[in-house]
Chain A
Amino acid sequence: MTAPVREVSIVIPTHNRRASVERTLTALSTQSYPLTSIQVIVVADGCSDGTAALADGRWPMDVRIIEQASQGPAAARNRGAAAATGRLLIFLDDDIEPSPGLVAAHAGAHAEDTAAVAIGYLPPQLQGRRDLFAMMLGAWWEAMFERMAAPGHRFAYTDLLSGNFSLSRSLFTRVGGFDETLRCHEDYELGLRLITAGARLRFVREAAGWHHEHTVLVRALQRKRDEGRADVTLARRYPQLISVLPLAAFPRHLTLRGRVLRRLALASPAAGDLMAAGCRSMLTVLERARLRARWRRLLDDLLSYWYWRGVGEALSGDSLETIRRSKAPPDSCDLDLRIGLEAAMQALDAIRPEAVRLRWGELTVGEIEPHPGAERLQGRHLPGLLRDRFAEPFAAALARAHALENAGVSKHEATVDEA
């Protein structure tokens, strides 16, 4: 007996969150997209709460539950994708409550572009939490989507969020799926391979799913530690990424306390952990006293401490310098904006460089820096960059060009007069 072919396969990895999965499935059963064309595969990764019992035939769409011993979300997603029969794969996390139009919006994003990777919108739902951390968390998510929604955004591997994205099954198979050895940033790593393979990332706001966000501070700190570890792995495997990973940046923006914490994280973690614990209790005091700016700085320091702590663990005695060294020069080009916006955009589309020096005649406007792990530059990136990042230097260059021209004219007039 062969399984019927469905248009869309939705893969949901989960670990002991039965009620949450139930909410996701309930929301999926009210999709505007034809339910008969939807296949849902829940991969219960080491679940002991009876998640498997959810496949009890009550759903109006095809729901299948695969059980496996705990192997992490990357392996669970691959397992689900392997069992999928749909032309399109949508990956959802188990804490997402899809809006009725989510599947239709994902499907629509692939209608014309088989190389598309659609990243859906995850409006955070903070369950009425009012604490400063929840507030920051909500703002952090929204800021990320705001960046992606900006017209002409230059997508990078870090934009691939595994909680709500879709791509064709053939593309997923072609790049080899998720890397199961990673327990963190496995989405970034897939994003990098997708961008390298020429996939086109795009943000689809209509593919919205409420994200029931329960992350608390302790969890966020633990997560930072995992990110530190994962970044070392990424840096070793993809040396070209090093310049954009936080671990390569000299922590100039850190406060003195932050630098001390970083040093401790790498050199004497036992003392560092003690100090970090002290800082954490300090956070509560600052929040009570409504000292928001101080609270924020301390939180930043703490997050970076745990990041460095993870980096230190993953380096296990290796020096940071050994991975920091290799760096390839980017391929860059010059672009004279005097040819007009249309022509400049076409030029970028023809060359697709990694970096660009923007000029106005002889005058320098600025440099669009290389961004390893991001799309190569395209014409559509230019207007937004000029508007947001280069508005001031561009205006200054125009003013200077005007002044030079006038000076040239008056000099010319002067020569005429003399003659």
Chain B
Amino acid sequence: MPTAVVQIEIDQVPRILSVADRHTRALVIARRHGRPVGGFYVSVRDGHVDMPRLHAELARAIRNKTWQWKVDEYVGAPPSAATRPECTVAICTRERPDDLTRALQAVCALRPQPAAILVVDNHPATSRTREVVDGFPMVRYVREDHPGLDAARNRALTEARTPVVAFTDDDAVPETDWLEHLLRPFADPRVRCSTGLTLPLELETPAQEWFERYSPFGRGFERRVFDGTRHDPVAVNLVGAGVNMAMRRSVLDELGGFDEALDAGTASRSGGDHEMFGRLLAAGHRIVYEPAAVSWHRHRRSWTELRDTLYGYGVGVYAMWTRRLLFEREPAVLRHAVRWLRHGQVPSLWRAVRRDPDSIPLDLQFAQLRGCAAGPWAYFRARREQREGMARPEAAQLPSGVGLGGPVSEGAGESEGRAPRNNKKPA
């Protein structure tokens, strides 16, 4: 039963909302003066959204906010923060030319425009990514031959010449004012990272619907500040996701950048973004979740891809926890693992076995559990592979300890050798 994704402006809700005939329900994103304020599901009949139901759900979603808005109107907007920092938008990609084209169109339409746009082509098998980028004269192409999303992210941080780098995925479409909102938190010097609200671009297949229900990227409609001096650095799930985040470049020097043994393209499959959030918080920094920074993500369409993704999440979470437990000696990880098992995974599995309505399909749950079990070993393998990759003859000049973040200066980059530099787009 495909789900339509519709948006309404709460002060101008239309009398009739029509969607395609194939849809049986709609995910309604409610916005006020353009800011997302709530989301809920409403049934659809004969191509029309059930409006009485929509109004009831809307009233429930904004019940606690309407009077708060009156206060805001009375007081007026706070004086806006100083100028936003200069920013580079980076897209890390691998062999997805169609998605990338759409993402680049969105990124080139951002207002205000970023100082630079960077595509990091990760361990490419073909030249298709390069060909897509050639169609966008304002976009710079960089090839990173070391496989792994985190290696590509570090490369983006290294290549950028701006104090902040905003990351978006090749399968995401940020809104025009995405960057403006995502950069606002950086007026606070303690903020090292900001994340935004990621919504589903489409929910046409069961796989996409389950993904949105089971592990959505969105983290709600309230702004949240995660302060490392107070927040438990292991509890990072609510912080956000790498598909929609901006990072100060200084994290390269301060924390050594992303862990290149984590995330897509390595044995550990995912977890690189969350591991970085955790390390930022452990160092006492701040991360701000800013739901006004909206990006739309196209979830994987097929069931096999979904199962694979969830398996990868399981691997990634446990790989990340393995790092935190063994390499950062963070015992709280054990508590979190037990809590997830007891209050999340086991009850959910039990509901699925009893075939409760709305329980998560068993095969998805098993996929994730298998991933969790494989996670620690995957992390060790990824580390080994990363070390071996580093030790390749052409990478012989690599200074020790690199891998977690490379040298920053342009000159040092030349000698690094693990990736062919000078891949800048000919002007």
Contacts and interface: CB of A to CB of B under 8 A. Distances in A.
Interface stretch (A82-90, A97-105, A153-161, A383-391): A383-391
B71 A386 contact: yes
Contacts of A292: 232-233
Nearest to A128: B254
Interface string B206-248: 0000000000000000000001110011000000000000000
What is the interface residue range for chain A against chain B?
20 to 34
Contacts of A394: 71, 74
Given A142-B189, A341-B76, A395 B332 contact: no
B331 interface: yes
A135 B70 contact: no
Contacts of A387: 71-72, 75, 78
Contact of B75 (A135, A138, A289, A341): A341
Contacts of B135: none
Q: Which of B68, B74, B232 has the most CB of A within 10 A?
A: B74
B67 A398 contact: yes
A405 interface: no
A378 to B, nearest CB: 16
A123 B188 CA distance: 12
> What's the dominant secondary structure at chain B's contact region?
loop
B81 to A, nearest CB: 10
A138 B331 CA distance: 25
Q: Which of B78, B233, B284, B331 has the most CB of A within 10 A?
A: B284
A386 B229 contact: no
Interface string B282-312: 0110000000000000000000000000000
B14 interface: no
A135 B284 contact: yes
B190 interface: yes
A267 interface: no
A288 B329 CA distance: 8
What is the interface residue range for chain B against chain A?
20 to 34
B229 A136 contact: yes
Contact of A151 (B78, B232, B283, B330): B78
B331 A396 contact: no
Contacts of B357: none
Interface string A362-393: 00000000000000000000011011000110
A398 B284 contact: no
Given A135-B284, A386-B74, A395-B68, A142 B331 contact: no
Interface in A227-274: none
Given A151-B78, A151-B79, A395-B67, A139 B190 contact: yes
A396 B190 contact: no
B203 to A, nearest CB: 34
A392 B78 CA distance: 17
A391 B68 contact: yes
Nearest to B69: A395
Contacts of B332: 290
B79 to A, nearest CB: 5
A380 B352 CA distance: 58
Contact of A135 (B67, B188, B229): B229
B332 to A, nearest CB: 6
A390 B129 CA distance: 53
Nearest to A396: B67
A179 B68 CA distance: 47
> What's the dominant secondary structure at chain A's contact region?
helix
B75 A139 contact: no
A34 to B, nearest CB: 26
A391 B65 CA distance: 11
Interface string B358-393: 000000000000000000000000000000000000
A58 interface: no
A146 B283 CA distance: 19
A292 B335 CA distance: 14
A139 B284 contact: yes
A397 to B, nearest CB: 9
A289 B333 CA distance: 12
Contact of A383 (B76, B190, B227, B233): B76
Interface in B324-359: 329-332
B329 to A, nearest CB: 7
Interface string B240-273: 0000000000000000000000000000000000
A290 B281 CA distance: 13
A337 interface: yes
Contacts of B232: 292-293
A379 B232 CA distance: 39
A290 B331 contact: yes
Contacts of B67: 395-396, 398-399, 402
A395 B70 contact: yes
A296 B330 CA distance: 16
A213 to B, nearest CB: 13
B78 A136 contact: no
Contacts of B188: 146
A386 B75 contact: yes
Q: Which of A136, A337, A387 has the most CB of B within 10 A?
A: A387
B70 A290 contact: no
A130 interface: yes
A194 to B, nearest CB: 26
A289 B335 CA distance: 13
A396 B72 CA distance: 13
A135 B71 contact: no
A303 to B, nearest CB: 15
Nearest to A384: B78
B54 to A, nearest CB: 23
Interface string B185-210: 00011100000000000000000000
A130 B280 CA distance: 12
A231 B229 CA distance: 27
Interface in A117-168: 123, 130, 135-136, 138-139, 142, 146, 151
Contacts of A391: 68, 71
A396 B67 CA distance: 7
B71 A398 contact: yes
Nearest to A132: B284
Given A139-B227, A341-B74, A387-B72, 8 more contacts: A135-B284, A136-B229, A142-B190, A290-B329, A290-B332, A296-B229, A387-B78, A399-B67
Closest 3 CB pairs of A and B: A135-B284, A395-B67, A139-B229
15 contacts: A139-B227, A142-B189, A142-B190, A290-B332, A292-B232, A292-B233, A341-B75, A383-B75, A383-B78, A391-B68, A391-B71, A395-B67, A395-B70, A398-B70, A399-B67
Interface of B: 67-68, 70-72, 74-76, 78-79, 188-190, 227-229, 232-233, 283-284, 329-332
